[in-house]
Amino acid sequence: MGKQLNSKHRQKIAELLQEGKNFREIAEILKVDRTTILREINRNAGDNGVYNPQLAESKTRRRKKLQAVSPGAVARLPPNVRAEVEKVWAFETPAVKRRQLIVDKYIKEYGPVIEQKLISPRAAMCALANEFYMSSSAIYYLLKREGIYRDAAHPVSLSSSIYKE
């Protein structure tokens, strides 16, 4: 349970669907959770609503490439370049947009007040966690991974003056 599907799994899903198997039966055969199969079919069905394993594989590869984009790197771009990137990102996955929103909000809204020591980085992370319905540890690890939060001595690693438009 909890493993990711590969192209062989996707091909098998298509075959089993053609045989008339339901989500539960497919999940048992592939030894994955039923919700994994449900999510796979919902995310990767074609415009006609029919599951296509080749289309599913290409959509999955595209999503993986999009997730490789670092919100921290985008946050460092000058405002005019960033505006162009955001136009492209208008069609990106919700997960990428969400990460970018969290990074932006931490830098732009909380960065200046953290630097002035009006609130703690932990308080900012808790506020973001509440706003985005995530755990504060998930926010912490996201900001740490993106290089935005280094440690208590460097709670905002980017100068907030870069982000004033």
- What are the tens digits of pLDDT across the range 26-82? 999 999 988 888 888 877 776 667 888 888 888 777 766 655 566 677 777 888 887
SS3 2: coil
CA separation, residue 40 to residues 27, 43, 46, 117 (Å): 11, 5, 12, 46
127-144: pLDDT as tens digits: 998 888 888 888 998 888
- Average pLDDT of the chain, as a whole number: 80
> Is the whole model's pTM more than 0.75, yes or no?
no
